[in-house]
Amino acid sequence: MQNRKTKGDRSFITINYILLTLTGFLTLIPILHILAVSLSDSKYVISNTVGILPRGFELEYYKYVLSKHDFYSSYRNTILITVIGTVLSMIVTVLTAYPLSKSWLRGRKFLLLLFVFSMIFYGGIVPSYMLMKMLNLIDTLWSLIIPFLLAQFNMLIIKSYMEGLPESIEESAEIDGAGPTRILFSIVLPMCLPVLASMTLFYAVGYWNNYFHARMFISSPGKRTLQLYLNDLIISATQLQNDMSADEFMNLSPGGVQAATIFAATLPILLFYPYLQKYFVTGITVGSVKG
Amino acid sequence: MKIKKSIVCLLLVTALLLSITACSKGQSGNAGKAKSDLSQQKNTEDNSKSSNSKKPKLKILTWYAPDVDINNDPTYHDVVERTGYDVEYFMLPADNPGEKLNLEVSGGTVYDILKLAPIDYSRLVSQGIYAQLDDVLATHGKNILNSISEESFQTIRKDGKTYGIPQITERPNIDACFAVRQDILDELSLPVPTDLDEFYNMLKTIKQKKPDMIPYTSDNPFNPIILSAFDLYDAWPERNGEITWYGKLPQMKKYLTFMKKLYDEGLLDKDFSMNKSDTILAKFTSGKAAAMPYGWLRAVGTPEALQKNVPEGKISLIFPLKDENGKVGIVPAGFSLNNVSGVMKKSPNIKHAVSFMDAKLDPKNFTFLTLGEEGVTYKVEDGNKYRPIMPEFTKQRGNAYAYLNGFDEKIYPDMWLARIWRDPSLGEAFETLNNKYDQYAVKPALAYMPPLPAEGKYIQSLNAFVQDTFTQFIMGVKPMKEYDDFLNQWENQGGREITKERNEWYQEQAK
């Protein structure tokens, strides 16, 4: 039997589509505006007469932004931190979650308590800084990876998911002579792929967006991450300088430079996001349903 | 089997840990000094026996310099070559640098040289972070002492001792005026106003004949051009031998009443309390506003932007307005401390740090490091007019200002103009405003005052309070008769302490 939609249903659906499309477009407007500003002639940018479409098309701002050596180095730093950090984090997190998911682990409750406790209480930035200093990690990219290798929340999600897996599969593998490592890599992890994909994403976004700790631990201009670079750029463009920095000042408006930098930095994420979106949505609930 | 497995596990874990520490050694580069870093907590100074050894690498923490590849700039390489010191620069963030600075200092990071904003310098001096430089300057800092005046040093001394090398603002200059649409003045047969009546008249006529335009837009309640007509040039003038805040002078009420009149009659932008500096620029260049606060810095790009939107638009400048006796005045920008370079007490290279900064001020090096080579990056006209040769100047010395630790106060003010003239329109705007420097400039009573303790606590919130209240007076939200109440509040919110402190400093200087 096919579901027949009544007239009411159909008009409801149509109105829904229209409203949601409009709302979607509204959220697009700021991005289109930034894009337009970054492609417009300075004279229009200064007088704030740029709308959603660029006026006086020109690529000067992008040429300027992409000529900055620091732009590329900060991008590279962020990508390095994100990729290496995510890979290492996933390894550490899985190796932590799997044993903790076994109810017969000795000291399990105590270990879990430690993890949850450290999740809630944070020592503060000054002790963290001093710790990094003593480990000689200050002003290195590792200082933005090592302290963040294990996100307890992510670990708990994976642990919950693993607890929900049927024991019988692992038992039969054990009977067949597989050791714990083999079971983990060949049996358990393939079953965990949804949650692993989601946690990978959570970690990646966490590393990509890390601002505060990056700001506090990194001092060399060349080791800045993308977030630091963007922040410095935007703040300094709105400050009055006692002395001019470059003759780019002469022709380009700071607003346009900001717009071009913002767009150049966020474009890759904007392109990735639609494909990864479904993992975000499922990832949040994946660890909660058992069986 | 089980024992074998646990051995393998143990080995793996150890390998992982080792690789992490090994990697961090590679990245940080000075891991070998891990133990010696801790021993640097002692107050070690160079002995004369080590001065013959190779020059150490100096670590310099500096405030934010935008768009500068600070360890790779042409000026950087020349600095290293001329001084013979290998240096590495670190930068504080643009946003809230004090936070990062405090963290680094309390975390025990050691730098050799700290080049900071005066307010950060003050704070660190009171925390005892800096080394005292009087003796070192006498032996290793001859060029520094020759280049920088005693007056400048006075501003950063604490208890008579020197803890840093001051860098004052390059050159006092007039940077404020009004921009007004000359084409509209021509259309309405109005003169460029020179006193308050002409100014008021001009705004009134524009309002009548062009009701769609905003006669005068602004982004804050203070305007030095109008304040000049009320003799309120200096925010902290001397009266009868004492420093007093200009809000307490009777003229301030008259000024506020006048501004209120402008607001009520629609001559002042109704949105002035919400405008930002970008907003008023946008309003003016799009043709909505007839006059706005202006300066030589803003003169870049503005005429062209105006032309695009209003092809017949032309800009004329309004200079500080005369009072009823024909007196004018404005406090120029400058007359203050720009930054201070100091050496950390914990640094093992105090003498070398001072020698490094001294070498840059050596007459053999100073001009070269600031302007480059004559005939290649700069030229001199009429004896003391320094002008850049573009584009070489920007390529080689565009960022030279970031490498200054103090400058030769006798010659740099003129040399600095070369930087302005990188853009001819900027140079012309600067000159137009400053041709009349002697006519208008009033040196502030508190020139070169360093940041004082009570100020740090109160000044920001007090300034915000004043700006908000003045805005309220002008908009009529608060009636003018509450002005005395406001003065009382001002005293209680820190005004009293600040006045007292500033007076103490002023009397000290007068001796």
Tell me, yes or no, if B100 comes closer than 8 A to chain A by beta carbon: yes
Chain B residues near residue A261 by CB distance under 8 angstroms = none
Instruction: Give CA–CA dist B366/B360, Å, rounded.
Output: 6
CB–CB contacts below 8 A, A to B = 158
Closest alpha carbon within chain A to B397: A246
Whether the bond between B237 and the residue before it is cis, its omega within 30 degrees of 0, is no
Contact flag B398-A246 (C-beta cutoff 8 Å): yes
Cα dihedral B196, B200, B206, B211 in deg (nearest 10): 150
Structure tokens at B343: 């050496």
Q: Which residue in A69, A135, A221 is closest to B24 by CB distance?
A: A135
Alpha carbon of A46: minimum distance to chain B alpha carbons (Å): 6
As a whole-number percent, the residues of chain B with pLDDT over 70 amount to 93
Tell me, yes or no, if A232 comes closer than 8 A to chain B by beta carbon: yes
Chain A residues near residue B282 by CB distance under 8 angstroms = 46-49
Instruction: Give CA–CA dist B180/B176, Å, rounded.
Output: 13
Residue B511 has pLDDT above 70, yes or no: no
Structure tokens at A182: 């083999």
Residue B345 has pLDDT above 90, yes or no: yes
Mode of pairing for the β-strands spanning B378-381 and B385-388 = antiparallel
Q: Using pLDDT thresholds of 50, 70 and 90, give the confidence band for residue B69.
A: confident
pLDDT averaged over chain B? 87
Closest alpha carbon within chain A to B25: A136
Q: Using pLDDT thresholds of 50, 70 and 90, give the confidence band for residue B20.
A: low
Instruction: Give CA–CA dist A133/B84, Å, rounded.
Output: 29
Closest alpha carbon within chain A to B90: A220
Contact flag B20-A239 (C-beta cutoff 8 Å): no
Q: Per-residue pLDDT tens for A224-260?
A: 999 999 888 877 766 543 334 444 455 567 778 888 8
Per-range mean pLDDT, top range of B11-25, B31-45, B231-245: B231-245
Residue pair B62/B117 in contact (Cβ under 8 Å)? The answer is no
Provide mean pLDDT across the span B343-361: 94
**Residue B25 vs residues A62, A104, A222, B29, B32: alpha-carbon distances, Å:** 37, 40, 18, 6, 8
User: Which B-chain residues 277-296 have CB contacts (< 8 A) with chain A?
Assistant: 278-279, 281-282, 285-286
Q: Which residue in A42, A141, A222 is closest to B27 by CB distance?
A: A141
Beta strand segments in B42-84, E: 58-62
Instruction: Give CA–CA dist A3/B422, Å, rounded.
Output: 74
Closest alpha carbon within chain A to B92: A219
Q: Using pLDDT thresholds of 50, 70 and 90, give the confidence band for residue B33.
A: very low
Tell me, yes or no, if A246 comes closer than 8 A to chain B by beta carbon: yes
Chain A residues near residue B34 by CB distance under 8 angstroms = 136
Q: In degrees, to the nearest 5, what angle opens at C-alpha B21 toward C-alphas B15 and B25?
A: 135
**Residue B44 vs residues B31, B111, B114: alpha-carbon distances, Å:** 20, 13, 18
Q: Per-residue pLDDT tens for B72-106?
A: 999 999 999 999 999 999 999 988 898 999 999 98
Identify from B5, B27, B39, B181 which residue to disrupt to test chain A contact, counting A C-beta atoms within 10 A and taking the largest count. Answer: B27
In the prediction, which pLDDT does A3 show?
65
As a whole-number percent, the residues of chain B with pLDDT over 90 amount to 54
Count CB-CB contacts under 10 A for residue B130.
22
Residue B147 has pLDDT above 90, yes or no: yes
Residue pair B335/B152 in contact (Cβ under 8 Å)? The answer is no
Instruction: Give CA–CA dist A230/B77, Å, rounded.
Output: 27
Provide mean pLDDT across the span A199-210: 90
- Top pLDDT among A269 and B50 is at A269
Amino acid symbol at B428: E
Q: Per-residue pLDDT tens for B437-450?
A: 988 899 999 888 88
**Range in A187-191, A267-271, B396-400, B476-480 the model is least confident about:** A267-271
Q: Per-residue pLDDT tens for A57-112?
A: 888 888 888 888 888 999 999 999 999 999 999 999 999 999 999 999 999 999 99
| pTM for this prediction | 0.80
Instruction: Give CA–CA dist B400/B398, Å, rounded.
Output: 6
Coil, strand or helix at A142: helix
Residue B113 has pLDDT above 90, yes or no: yes
Contact flag B64-A236 (C-beta cutoff 8 Å): yes
ipTM of the shown complex: 0.78
Identify from B24, B393, B401 which residue to disrupt to test chain A contact, counting A C-beta atoms within 10 A and taking the largest count. Answer: B24
In the prediction, which pLDDT does A243 show?
39
